Each structure stands twice: as structure tokens, then as C-alpha cells.
Amino acid sequence: MIPNQYVMGFMASFVLDLQLFADAGTLVNATGRYQNAYDATSYQAFTSSSTLAPTMKTYYEQELLDNSRDKLIYGQLGKKYALPAHHGKVIEWRKWNTLPRLAELTEGVIPTGQKLGMTALNVELHQYGEYVAVTDQLDLFAYDDVIQGASEELGAASGETEEILIRDVLAANANILYADAYSGDTYQSTPANVAALQTALATYKCNVTPDMINKAATNLKVGKAPTFSGNMYVCVIHPHCTYDLRKHPDWRAPHEYCRPEEIFNGEIGELHGVRFVESNLAPIIKGTNDTYATYKTMVFGKDAFGIPDPEGASDGIIVKTKEQVGGPLNQFSTIGTKKYVAARILYPERICTIWSGSSYSSVDTAN
């Protein structure tokens, strides 16, 4: 039999150990609040200064940004200009007008002075956004992660929206070449306008050829358009227009002419001093009365267009829990995103658009 003094000592020690564990549970960090593990009624809500809420959506934030970034083909070629907070929604670019070349002086005669001028270019930022609402039951019982799925789709929609808005601004540029018409390898004609291009497509091929790329690059050189890294221009082209180009013997893969960190998103290769970036959103045009789809392949010099970058307006995912927006019975939560988008062509002579057909002109639809 164990003496009483040892039993009492053991019990006292056991009670002391329980108290140590109890102290550790008086404040437990949880997903939605701070709580006491031993008192279910003693909850402490997150505050603006003490919260773990951001940790619950960091992954989804990344999902949105990654999906948005994947769509940015045109946007990566523009020059971003900071727009400080509290300075309005309109950004203005200013550039000096070009002066004529110097005239020969006549001895003793003061020449007429030249007029100095400046051009201002403005663009206003517009806000775009959307959200999805998810019921508490869908969130609870769905096999797949609904918030992750919503974040992925919001990211894709966000990137595509920005890309199309920028693309449509650039596609309005008037510096255009119409693709030459060929029968086999025999040159036939050069369409003078879109109607002539439609007519030619009924009989001939009017594709983006290496020669058309050379013509576009020459157009930019004549316009004194600066080049990107590697002393090259950059072309954004639809996959349906790249087929013939990639068969050319001088075609080079990106790793053959630039470092991995310098490769543009979507870049597929280089030919004749032009780097090619492929995009499913490169313009396909097909009017109601058009028989054939046509394509706008744009070749860019550096800093041809500007994109405002408003301070404090970075892309992000906005999650409202069912406790915040779910009504009296906490029945739904929301996941959304918003962004500001604007673009402006600054130097029209630094963009040359090749308007063409392709081997898919008879089946493609407008995008």
C-alpha cells in the first residue's frame, strides 16, 4: 500500500499540470476569431489591428493574380506611367512637336523663327469589376473548393477584360498594311482596303508572310520607332496566322536569341528582326456581311502606347464572409475583384498593323 503522503503529493502535482494546460488554451488563434478553448461563450472577434483573416485568402489572391497575368500580352508591351493618388482619373502625356530641319542661312539676313508647339494626349481611367455569391450550403457540401474555383475564374476574366480593352485601343491605329494576295508562290495584287481584301480572299491567299513582316518592320524603321531589347520589334499575332511563318528556315526559338528572364509572356520565336508573341485575343474581324474572317497582326516599336498605373489601385481579390454579407441567417458569401484600365497610343508611327486573311478565314468568327 502506498503511504498517504505520497498519494497526496501525486494528486497535488497532477492538479498543477492540468492548470498549466488550461492556461495554454485561454487564447487560441482560430480561422475566424480568437477563442477560449475551455469556454465556448468567450469569443474575441478579429479587429483591424489584430486579425488572421488575410492568411485565409492569400492562396486565392495568388490564384487570381496568376490567372490575370497569363492573359496580359498587349499590356506587357506598353509603358506604364504612375498616376499618384488624389490627382484625378485623367492622365496627360505631353510631347514637343517636331521642328523642321535647319535652313541655309543668307549672309547678314536674320531668318524667320520657328513656331514651337506641344501636343497633349489624355486618357481617363475606368473601373471594371465583378463578383460571385456562394451559398453557405454550396461552400459546406461541394466536393471541389468553390472559393478557389471562383478566384481562378475571376482572375481569367480580369486578365481577359484588361487585354481586350487595351487591344481595341491599339487596333484603331491607322498605320495599316494589307496583306499581298498570292496564287501559290505567284504575287497577284495588294488589296487597297478591307473590301478588296475580302474580294481577294475568295480566290487567293492573303496571309501574313515573312515578306509582310519585313514590310512592317521597314515601316517602323522609316518612322524611327525604337526597338525593344535585342534591337528587335515585337509582333502580337493570332495562332491561326503563325503557321506559315514558323516553317520558314530562318525562324528561331526564343532561347536562341534572348535570356529566359527577357522572354515576353506568350513569346514563340523570332524572324527577320521581329519577335513574335502569340495571343488568342489578337483581333479577328468578321462583319455581318463578310464571307471571310480577317486578322489584325500588330508590330510594335518600344513605348508606342502608355498605360496609367494608379497608385493604390492594384488588382486584388475581395472576399466577404457570410458573417459580413450573408443576411440575418449568414446564408452566402461573396468573392470579387475590380481594377482600373486605360490605354492611349502615344506614337502612331510606332505601330504597324498587317490586315490579312489566314488558312482559317472561312471558319473563324470574330473575337
Pick the closest to residue 309 from 102, 79, 115, 117 (CA basis).
Answer: 79
Say if 41 falls within a structural domain.
yes
Note whether 239 and 321 are same-domain residues: yes
| φ, ψ dihedrals at 140, nearest 5° | -80, -40
Say if 25 falls within a structural domain.
yes
Q: What is the pLDDT of residues 45-79, one digit of tens each?
A: 656 565 545 555 555 555 555 655 556 899 999 99
Is the pLDDT at 214 greater than 90? The verdict is yes
Residues in Cβ contact with 327 at an 8 Å cutoff, skipping those fewer than 6 apart: none
Is the pLDDT at 144 greater than 60? The verdict is yes
Q: Which domain holds residue 193?
A: 57-96+118-367
- Given this model, what pLDDT does residue 143 score? 77
Say if 105 falls within a structural domain.
no
Query: What letter does residue 258 receive in the DSSP assignment?
Result: S
- Grid cell at residue 17: 499540470
Helix, strand or coil for residue 164? helix
Count of Cβ atoms closer than 10 Å to residue 61 Cβ: 18
Say if 294 falls within a structural domain.
yes
Note whether 244 and 275 are same-domain residues: yes
Is the pLDDT at 145 greater than 80? The verdict is yes
Note whether 40 and 122 are same-domain residues: no
Note whether 25 and 122 are same-domain residues: no
CB 200 within 8 A of CB 361: no
Query: What letter does residue 354 receive in the DSSP assignment?
Result: E
Q: What is the mean pLDDT of residues 276-298?
A: 95
Say if 10 falls within a structural domain.
yes
CB 349 within 8 A of CB 225: yes
- Given this model, what pLDDT does residue 65 score? 56
Kindly report the pTM of this predicted structure. Answer: 0.78
Whichever domain contains 84, its CATH number is 3.90.1690
Cell 508562290 locates to 185
How far apart CA 298 and CA 296 sit, in angstroms, is 6
Mean pLDDT of the chain: 85
Return the bridge partners of 258, or none: none
Note whether 245 and 334 are same-domain residues: yes
Say if 330 falls within a structural domain.
yes
- Given this model, what pLDDT does residue 18 score? 47
Is the pLDDT at 37 greater than 80? The verdict is no
Total count of domains within the chain: 2
Cell 457540401 locates to 141
- DSSP string spanning 36-70? ETTEEEEEEE--SSS--GGGGTHHHHHHHHHHHHH
Q: What is the pLDDT of residues 294-342, one digit of tens each?
A: 999 999 999 999 999 888 776 678 888 888 888 889 898 998 999 999 9
- Given this model, what pLDDT does residue 260 score? 87
- DSSP string spanning 158-181? HHHHHHHHHHHHHHT---EEEPPE
Query: What letter does residue 84 receive in the DSSP assignment?
Result: -
- Given this model, what pLDDT does residue 57 score? 54
Cell 502506498 locates to 2
Query: For residue 296, how far is the Cα from the chain centroid?
Result: 19
Q: What is the CA radius of gyration of the chain?
A: 31
Report percent pLDDT > 90 for the chain.
55
Q: Which pLDDT band, with edges at 50, 70 and 90, does 40 fall under?
A: low
How far apart CA 81 and CA 19 sit, in angstroms, is 61
Return the bridge partners of 235, or none: 276, 299
Note whether 243 and 282 are same-domain residues: yes
Pick the closest to residue 270 from 247, 286, 254 (CA basis).
Answer: 254
